[in-house]
Amino acid sequence: MSPSGAEFIKQIKSEVEEVDPSDVESLLRAGESSNGHGPSPRVAVVDVRESDELVSGKLPGATAIPRGFLESRIEATIPDRSQKVVLYCASGARSALAANTLVRDLGYEDVVSMKGGITLWKDRGYDVEVPFAFTPEQRQRYSRHFLLPEVGEEGQRKLLQAKVLLLGAGGLGSPTALYLAAAGVGTIGIVDDDTVDVSNLQRQVIHSTATLGVAKVDSAEQAIHALNPEVKVVKYQTRLDSSNIMDILEGYDLVVDGVDNFPTRYLLNDASVRLKIPVVSAAILGFEGQLSVFAPYDGPCYRCLFPVPPPAELAPSCGANGVLGVLPGTMGLLQATEVMKLVMGTGTPLIGRLLMYDALEATTTELKVRRDPECPICSRPPEDIAPEEMGVFPDYEAFCAAAG
Amino acid sequence: MAVVKLPTQLRAAAGGDGEVRVEGETVGAVLDALYALHAELRDRIADADGTLRRFVNVYVNGDDIRFGDGLKTPVPAGAEVQILPAVAGG
Chain B residues in contact with A170 by the CB 8 A cut-off are 90
Domain contains B45: yes
Q: Which amino acid is at A173?
A: G
Reported as a single tens digit per residue, the pLDDT across A90-134 is: 999 999 999 999 999 999 999 999 999 999 999 999 999 887 889
- With DSSP H G I counted as helix, E B as strand and the rest as coil, what are the percentages for chain A, rounded to 5? 45, 20, 40
Q: Is residue B80 within a helix (H) or strand (E), and if so which, with residue range?
A: strand B80-85
Alpha carbon distances (Å) from A291 to A283, A310, B13: 7, 18, 25
Q: Quick check: A403 and A313 in contact, CB under 8 A?
A: yes
Q: Digits of tens for pLDDT over chain A (404 positions)?
A: 788 999 999 999 999 999 999 999 999 888 765 544 444 457 899 999 998 898 889 999 899 999 999 999 999 889 999 999 999 999 999 999 999 999 999 999 999 999 999 999 999 999 998 878 899 999 999 999 999 999 999 999 999 999 999 999 999 999 999 999 999 999 999 999 999 999 999 999 999 999 999 999 999 999 999 999 999 999 999 999 999 999 999 999 999 998 888 889 999 999 999 999 999 999 998 899 999 999 999 999 999 999 888 877 666 644 467 889 999 999 999 999 999 999 999 999 999 999 999 998 899 999 999 999 999 999 999 988 888 888 887 655 555 555 44
Domain contains B54: yes
Q: The domain containing residue B78 runs over which residues?
A: 2-85
Task: Tell me how many residue pairs between chain A and chain B have CB atoms under 8 A apart.
Answer: 98
Closest of A364, A241, A191 to residue A292, by C-alpha: A364
Alpha-carbon dihedral of residues A235, A240, A241, A242, nearest 10 degrees?
70
CA distance A100 to A108: 10
Chain A residues in contact with B53 by the CB 8 A cut-off are 310
Domain contains B90: no
Kindly report the number of other CB atoms within 10 A of residue A267's CB atom: 20
Question: Which of B52, B80, B87 would best serve as a mutation to test chain A binding (most A beta carbons within 10 A)?
Answer: B87
Q: Which stretches within A124-215 are classed as H helix?
A: 136-141, 143-146, 152-161, 173-183
Does A299 contact chain B (CB < 8 Å)?
no
Could A262 and B82 be called an inter-chain contact, meaning their C-beta atoms sit closer than 8 Å?
no
Could B90 and A173 be called an inter-chain contact, meaning their C-beta atoms sit closer than 8 Å?
yes
Does A369 contact chain B (CB < 8 Å)?
yes
Number of domains in chain B: 1
Q: What's the complex ipTM?
A: 0.93
- Nearest chain A residue to B19 by CA: give it: A361
Chain A residues in contact with B87 by the CB 8 A cut-off are 283-285, 288, 290, 316-317
Q: pTM of this prediction?
A: 0.78
- Taken in order A71, A72, A77, A81, the sign of the CA dihedral is positive
DSSP code string of A222-245: HHHHHH-TTSEEEEE-S---TTTH
In chain B, count of helices (H) and strands (E)? 3, 5
CATH code of the domain covering residue B59: 3.10.20.30
Q: Is residue B21 within a helix (H) or strand (E), and if so which, with residue range?
A: strand B19-22
End-to-end Cα spacing for chain B: 35
Domain contains B38: yes
Who among A172, A314, A354 is closest to B90 (CB)?
Answer: A172
- Nearest chain A residue to B10 by CA: give it: A314
Chain A residues in contact with B5 by the CB 8 A cut-off are 365
Could B88 and A265 be called an inter-chain contact, meaning their C-beta atoms sit closer than 8 Å?
yes
Q: Is residue A328 within a helix (H) or strand (E), and if so which, with residue range?
A: helix A327-344
Domain contains B81: yes
Domain contains B6: yes
Nearest-CA distance A183 → chain B (Å): 22
Domain contains B43: yes
Does A356 contact chain B (CB < 8 Å)?
yes
Does B16 contact chain A (CB < 8 Å)?
no
Reported as a single tens digit per residue, the pLDDT across A263-282 is: 899 999 999 999 999 999 99
Who among B5, B18, B87 is closest to A290 (CB)?
Answer: B87
Half-sphere exposure of A257 (CA within 13 A, CB side): 33
Could A368 and B62 be called an inter-chain contact, meaning their C-beta atoms sit closer than 8 Å?
yes
